[in-house]
Structure 1
Amino acid sequence: MTDSRAFIPINIAILTVSDTRTEADDLSGKTLVDGLLAAGHKLHEKRIVPDDIYQIRAAISHWIADADVNAVITTGGTGITGRDGTPEAVKPLLDKVLDGFGEVFRMISYQDIKSSTVQSRALAGVANATYIFCVPGSSGACRTAWDALIKDQLDYRTKPCNLVQLMPRLLEK
């Protein structure tokens, strides 16, 4: 007997954080949308907001409050310049932080960009049963994050464990 699980598609929202990108040139957001659709998930919504912690927080808070959204992936604003504020916008919204996400992302990223990976403040967590992943703004970083980490963790078939199988338990008290 084969121990196999059926794929469970989830609803994912994509947020590009940038002062300069538009839908026409948002390669990072497109990379994430293409990845989630190719994996069989559903795009709930895609937005672009400026590098402003309150606009970032407003968009993510809207999705956290929407029971139809299972995950949010942000791209951009995770660097160290004065306008990079995605981690500061997102951290106060999180119920729990998934520390391993940023650690493993930087470890994988090191293979491609060497010590420049220390400038990444990629992070992930969960808020109101919604998974949130914040990745850098380059399309290469988005591809790395999706292909090496997020895709498998949002696939119910991934063993020994994945984030989808925990979804029914996220609101336990």
Structure 2
Amino acid sequence: MTDRAFVPIRIAVLTVSDTRTTADDKSGNTLVARIEDAGHLVADRMILPDERAQIADQLRKWCADDAVDVVISTGGTGLTGRDVTVEAHRDVYEKEIDAFGTVFTIVSMQKIGTSAVQSRATGGVANGTYLFALPGSPGACKDAWDEILVKQLDYRHMPCNFVEIMPRLDEHQRRK
């Protein structure tokens, strides 16, 4: 860490599930608790079914909302027929953060061994907003937050972090 001041960011949490409710959304609760413990703000929270168009529409709404800097979804990243979160995210991305999935796999390998190969966690950027799709288990959410996101979403983290380049994410859309 450096002597930089902490910069709280606004994070929306999306749980993708055909069966979860707010009463039993352990993964969403895990993310909300960690976001708040880190000093960030939960800008919005929602549960949606595994429907690609519906997920992509909500991601686009949040990307258009100046009150949301980051979207983290949980669920729907596996290999079954109903797992469409990754496809919905990619429908929205302008740029994919390829290394996010790779680093998540490395972190997961240390915890669950070769079962990590079944995750399709992904990250990207759209309209100046970061988007991350995590698996639907609380353990995977803990691993992604504790090992990757808590650091990359902290302006004080060196040598670099996602927060410091946020003002430049949409520079291609500005007039010269």
TM-score bracket for the superposition, by shorter chain length: over 0.9
Residue 159 of structure 1 aligns to which amino acid in structure 2? M
2:2–2:157: 8 Å Cα contact kept in structure 1? no
Residue equivalent to 1:43:
42
Letter in 2 for 1:91: R
Measure how far apart 1:88 and its partner are.
0.6
Q: Establish whether residue 15 from structure 1 lines up as the match of residue 4 from structure 2.
A: no
Query: In structure 1, how many angstroms separate the alpha carbons of the residues matched to 2:157 and 2:111?
Result: 25
1:1-173 maps to which residues of 2 (within 5 A)?
A: 4-173=3-172
Q: 2 CA distance for matches of 1:46 and 1:106? A: 26
SS at 1:137's partner residue?
coil
Give TM-score, length-normalised by structure 2.
0.96
Runs of 4+, deviation exceeding 6 Å: none
Partners of 1:3 and 1:160 in 2: CA distance? 10
Q: Aligned-residue CA RMSD in angstroms? A: 1.0
Q: Secondary structure at the match of 2:171?
A: coil
**Partner letter of residue 144 of structure 1?**
D
Q: What SS class does the counterpart of residue 160 from structure 1 fall into?
A: coil
Structure 2 counterpart SS, 1:78: coil
**Secondary structure of residue in 2 paired with 1:46:** strand
Q: 1:135 to 1:3 in 2, by over 3 A?
A: closer
Segments of 5+ residues of structure 2 without an aligned counterpart are none
> What is the CA-CA distance between 1:157 and the residue it aligns to?
0.2
CA deviation after TM superposition for structure 1 residue 3, in Å: 5.1
1:67: Cα distance to partner? 1.3
TM-score by length of 1: 0.97
For 2:29 and 2:90, locate their aligned partners in 1 and report how far apart those are by CA, in whole Å. 25
Instruction: Find the aligned partners of 2:56 and 2:92 in 1 and give their Cα distance.
Output: 8
CA-CA distance at 1:130 after TM superposition:
0.3
Q: How many pairs align?
A: 172
How far residue 121 of structure 1 moved from its aligned partner, in angstroms, is 0.3
Structure 1 gaps of 5+ residues are none
Alpha-carbon offset, residue 58 of structure 1: 1.5
For 2:95, the aligned partner's letter is: K
Asked if the contact 2:28–2:74 (Cα under 8 Å) also holds between the matched residues in 1, the reply is yes
Q: Deviations over 1:51-90 (max 9, x none)?
A: 1101111111110110111000000000000000001111
- Asked if 1 retains the 8 angstrom alpha-carbon contact of 2:38 and 2:150, the reply is yes
